[in-house]
Every structure is written in C-alpha cells, then in structure tokens.
Structure 1
Amino acid sequence: MLTDKRKYCIVAPLSALSIRTRLYKLANFLHYQKQCEISHVGWERVENESVEVNLDFSIKKRIILRGGGYGGSKIKLYYILWMLKVFLYSFKIKKSDIIWALGFESAFPLLLMSKLKGYKIIFDDADRFSMLFAFPRPIKKLLQYLEEFTSKNVYIHIVPGKERYDFYSPKIHELKNMPSRRVINKAKENYNDSDYIKNKLVINVNGWLGEGRGMHVILQIAKVLKEDVSIILVGKIDCEAALELSKMENVQYLGEVSNDKALETYLASDFVFTYYDPQHEINKYAESNKWGDAIKLGVGIIVNEEVLTANYLNKANVTISVPYDDVLQLTDRLSDIVNNNKKREYKSNIQSLSNKYGDFEEQLSKII
C-alpha cells in the first residue's frame, strides 16, 4: 500500500481536473480523505480552460502543452507531442512522488524514467488509447502490445471495466465509475424538488451533448412524447440537434454545471440517457460515469444495445436497451412505461444493483 504523505502528481492530457469527472472525484478523495498534496501536469486544449473552477481547494498546476482542442485532423499529432512533452517532464519527477497517469499516452512515456528513478506510476486507463482512433492495423497492433507492456510494468493499472482487454495483467484493478459519497451527500442536501421540470416521465440528458451521443434520437423523443415526457438537459451543447432540443418547452436546459449539481438533477429524474455511436469501437466498450450515478441515485438507464459493457445493467433489468437509431422502438418502450406505470420496477431493480457496488471512495481505498 502507498503511504498517504507522499505527493500525488496527476499527469493528464486535459486542461483541468475538475472538467473530467473521474479526476474530479480523485482530487477530492486525495485532498479530503488522504490529505495529500496534489499537482496537475496538463494539456490546455482551449485557451484559459485550465482554471479549476469546481475545486474548492488549490492545486499546483503545470501546463506543458497548449492548443489542439478536442478533435480535428491534427489531434493525433498533438497526442504524439503530448507524449514527447511528458517524457521530457519525467526528468523532473522525484523518486518519492506518486504519479497518477491518465491514459496510455501519459503512462507509457513515464514508464522508462520510472525504472531509472524509482517513482511509482498508477496507470488510470479510463479510455483505452488503441480504441480511440481508427489506426492502421500495424500501428494498432503495436499500440496494443505497448499497452500490455505498460500494464504489466506499472505499479498499478486501474480500469473502469475489464471488457476492453484481451490480455491478463496482475497489475489490473477495477474501479467502477461510481459517484463520490461526498458529492452524493452534497447533492441531496442541496436538492429542491420545486426547481425542476416535471411530467409523467423525466429523462436526464447530461455530459457532452454532441452528435455521437444520440442527440438526434432524444430530440425525436422530446417531440413525439412531449405530452408525457420532459427532459432535464445538462452540459455543453455541441451539435444542432442538442441546440434545438434545448429550446423546446418540455426541456429544462441548465447549461454546464458542477458535478454535485449534475448529480442533484438525477433526484428529479426517472431515467438517464446514455447513447454511444457504435461506429466508433471505443463506444461499444463505454464505461459511463452516468451509469454509476444512476445506480447510486436510483435512476433507470437508457442505453443503446450495441454497448457491450452495459450487459451487467441489462441483466439486472435496470435499462431500456434498443438499437442506436431505432427511435420508434424507444418511443414504444417509453410509452409502455408511462401507460403502465412501470417506473417503480426500475427503481426497485436499481436499488438491488446499488447494494453490490461501493461508492468511489470505498473502491479506491481498497486499491491505494
């Protein structure tokens, strides 16, 4: 086990810890529960985005790469540059530091120097890198080999689920994307039922509101079932369908909010919408934070059936699962729930599932 008095350096290819739910929960855990000193070595993808607006404590921050945004033709080149910058930064790391590396693109360039200097790497593999892009087959095979090599040579390899991996590594530990106990309690304390839209069925749509997240589907649902279904919409609008959705009368759009405010909206919801475009390989192995939020806050889950990692949710009968583009079938399933008052069945099943999983802090405490 690691001693808590050491410094934790989170090396992550993003602007701020608080804009990535998994790292937001980690930072709060390390600060409040472990009372550790935290620093972030990051990549400011958008100008002035590195400000930690949602953390109520200070962390040391060092930006080693700027620009590139979150997509576009040059993004792969920026990832290569990120790996080079991380390797160069590794010369400055002290033996006593504990490095929390988000993604293969952070862990692999840190690995060689860790063997020379002796610092420990916790490889947090939230999204398997070899699945993120459509790499040519030889490059993908090389990346998969290097991912396995990295997994077996770091101190700990943390994954949200094991379905993405076709190899065995004794260093792998599963950390399901459950919410933080502290944030759940804060959300419940601040919850005011009168602040939220109401209807026979309320669907929560939150996170990245982009084309690859089924916005065209939920838009049609909002139109066809507008008399019975209302939507709480939270997050960054990033496509025309989401923009149109936000302007509808049966939709309450709250914009981008903190993690505890996002969790608060679950208390006013019956289902959470989690769609992932199956054209992208990584999406078939999604490990959504929204699933853990729903499990711990008693909300049913809407997920497209192509998502293989949702199998345990389907078996627990807590999901509405239909093909990604089958709006008609989803409409029928939601209408059936409304007309036959089946919301209680889902809430009962979700409670049974909740009892099987510890919250974020409980899981992480067993690992580090």
Structure 2
Amino acid sequence: MRAFNFYKSDDVSNVRLQKYFRIFSDHRVPFRLYGWQRSEESLKFDFNESAHYLIRGGGYGNKKKLVMKYIGFTANLLLFIIKNYKKIQNIENIAVNFDTALVFFVTKPFTKVPYIYEVHDSFALSYSMPSFLKKILMKIDAHIMKNAKYVIHVDKNRILDHKHNNIIIYNSPQDYFSGKFEKRELNHSFAVIGNISEGRGILSILAFAKDNPRVNFTLIGKFYNLSLKQDFVKLNNITYYDYLPQAELFKKILHCCGIFSLYDPALEINRLAASNKVYDAMMLGIPVITNPEVQNSNFIVSEEIGLTVNYNYDESWGRLKCDSFIEVSKRLGTNGRRLFEKEFEFKKMVEVSLLNNIK
C-alpha cells in the first residue's frame, strides 16, 4: 500500500483526521499530516508524532490574526510542495478543503504532483460574500475538482458534478462499542459537542437551559465567545469540558437523551451541513436534534432517528423538557443505531471506497 500525506489547515486533534489515522494505523498504511498546530491541546492527542506543522499557534480568536495565519500556512505549503515535489509525486496526497487543494491545483502544471481533494465544506458557500465573487470561487473549485485524482465528499448532497471520480465517506465515527452495542439507561440530559458558537444555535440552547433548570446539559468543545462561555458555566445544570479525544467525549455523553445539531439557516452552507454529530448520535443510539432548514433533517425525520425544533428557541422545544421524552429518545436512538450498523460505519467506508481503490 502506498503512503498517504494529509494536508489541512488544522492539527491532529481534528476528529475526522483522527478517524483516518486510526484506520491507517490498523492497516499499517504509512501516513503523515502536514498541517497547522492551532493550539497546544493537540499534543494530548494520538498520532502527534505523525504530524509536521507548517505553522503553529494563533488558531482561534482575533479575525485579523487568523487571516494572517491562513496566509502564512498557505505560503508555507506552497514552498513545501515546490521544494519536495519529486518526493511526493509517488505518494497519495489528500488535500483537505479549498485552501489546501488550491495550492496543489496551482502548482500541478509544473510539479506534476497528483492530489485527492477532500471537501468538507464548499468555501464559496461558507461565507457571506458578493454573488460575483461566490461565482468566481465556485468556478475555481470546479477546476480543482476536475484536476483531482479523486474527490472525497462527506455527504452525497455535496456532489455538484457526477463526472468526477467521486467518493463518499460520510462524517460518521468509528464504532465506540466495537460492534457490541448494549442498550443503557438514559438521563434527562442533552449534549452539545464540537464548535460552540452563535451560528450553531447556542443562544437558543442557552435560553432552553435557563428555562429548564431540572434538565441537564453536557457541553464539550471550543467556545469562540468567552462571555457566552461564562453565561453557560455559571448555570447549575451545565457541565462543561474543553476538547476531548473522541473516545473520552463519547463516554461523557453515553447517557444523554439527545445531541444538538443546529445550524443557522441564514448561511447557505449550513443548510447543506453534513454534521458528524448526526452520525455520532446514530452510533451511540441517541437521537439527534436539528432544525428543519438543514437539508438532512428530511433524512433524520423520515428514518425516525431524531427530530427537529426551530432554530430560534420557541414552543417547538417544549417536548424536550417533558420527562416522557426519555421513552421517545430510546425508540429514536434504537432506529439510529440500527441504521448506523447497516450503512454508516466509517471504517468500512474508508476500506471499501478509498483503500481498495488505491493499491
């Protein structure tokens, strides 16, 4: 099996990278990450020895500083490819997201370095910008895909052109239970995991938590607004942890009766969200709670693996506060686990769709 290099403006704490690295390690496939060490927290995570960081620090907070760091990362990646193109021509290079893939695309005419483009979110749809600029970026993105060896998507609704060598690897987790799932008691507690920000419905969750002090909440992730963090942690029904390795995170939320996966519908990319939280919930046998504007809410409701509430806190959230919701949660969670075992295990998708295609 050929070696793989991953290139991403992130570090080894990234959940999806951790899943890839675990599978590659199990299969004894050589791999390396060329990335951006956003914080010292990444040193606590597995596979740190496989990372080579092109830039360090400044991964969160001030927007101007972030922009400068992105420019620094991109410039260093460009220099890395130019200096090492002969070494990496015979390696499977996975460029994650637009910022990284653009560098491979621009340098390919003279370096001849092939690349696999993994698209988590469309760059043009991820930010508010003038429509003419959005169209230009989408055209550039289409050319990047056209020149890629394969294009990996995190959801089938992200495929814009079926002419490419498309691979779908959903944002699902490795099985925490290793195939030995057991039903367990659920508590009247909800989980909020990942990026904790205003664009992920956190203000609505805060209002719900304040109105229902008997309902508990476990928050695990990074707050981008420190004053908002203080509003949460001072509540008696809130338990908060910073980023945790995925296995530890799952252990903390095993007995929750719901996982929130809310997205501000004002941003186009959010309506196409392929949230890993949906698949985390399915794997754990816990229902996912999303808002109806998100495209995969139709899948969630039709498969009866979760439910929807309005993005802004209102009476649609009422059923979540009832003690009877625990029984509803058990039924929906069982449906989700059954579907996960049938179709969505990450390890199987990587083995069948990626590793079997590349020998």
What TM-score do you get using the length of structure 1 for normalisation?
0.84
- For 1:303, the equivalent position in structure 2 comes to 290
Cα displacement string for residues 318-365 of structure 1 (whole angstroms, at most 9, x for unaligned residues)? 2221221133211x1214562684233212322342243231111011
In the TM superposition, 1:246-265 aligns within 5 A as 246-265=233-252
* Secondary structure of 1:342 counterpart: helix
Cα displacement string for residues 169-217 of structure 1 (whole angstroms, at most 9, x for unaligned residues)? 3221111111113x5449989xx98xxxx74x22111112222222221
Cα displacement string for residues 37-63 of structure 1 (whole angstroms, at most 9, x for unaligned residues)? 3222223445x46x4321056214131
In the TM superposition, 1:174-193 aligns within 5 A as 174-181=168-175, 183-185=176-178
Pairs aligned (count): 350
- Distance, in Å, in 2 between the alignment partners of 1:244 and 1:188 is 36
2:263 to 260, 266, 276: 276
- Distance, in Å, in 2 between the alignment partners of 1:89 and 1:56 is 21
| Cα 1:364/1:226, change in 2 over 3 Å | same
In the TM superposition, 1:137-156 aligns within 5 A as 137-156=131-150
**Deviates most, 356-365 or 111-120:** 111-120
1:124 to 102, 118, 128: 118
Gaps of 5+ in 1: none
- For 1:62, the equivalent position in structure 2 comes to 53
Q: What percent identity do the matched residue pairs reach?
A: 23
- Distance, in Å, in 2 between the alignment partners of 1:64 and 1:241 is 29
- For 1:40, the equivalent position in structure 2 comes to 33
Gaps of 5+ in 2: 355-359
Cα displacement string for residues 270-315 of structure 1 (whole angstroms, at most 9, x for unaligned residues)? 1101111222222111111111111111000111122123321121
Quick check: 2:207–2:313 contact (8 Å CA) kept in 1?
no
In the TM superposition, 1:157-172 aligns within 5 A as 157-172=151-166
* Secondary structure of 1:257 counterpart: coil
| Cα 1:323/1:312, change in 2 over 3 Å | same
- For 1:13, the equivalent position in structure 2 comes to 9
- The one-letter code sitting in structure 1 at the alignment partner of 2:158 is R
Shift of 1:65: 6.8
RMSD (Å), alpha carbons: 2.9
Quick check: 2:257–2:326 contact (8 Å CA) kept in 1?
no
Matched, 1:205 2:199: no
Shift of 1:159: 0.8
Cα displacement string for residues 68-123 of structure 1 (whole angstroms, at most 9, x for unaligned residues)? 64661464565455444323321213222211111021112113544544443121
- Distance, in Å, in 2 between the alignment partners of 1:276 and 1:175 is 21
- The one-letter code sitting in structure 2 at the alignment partner of 1:42 is G
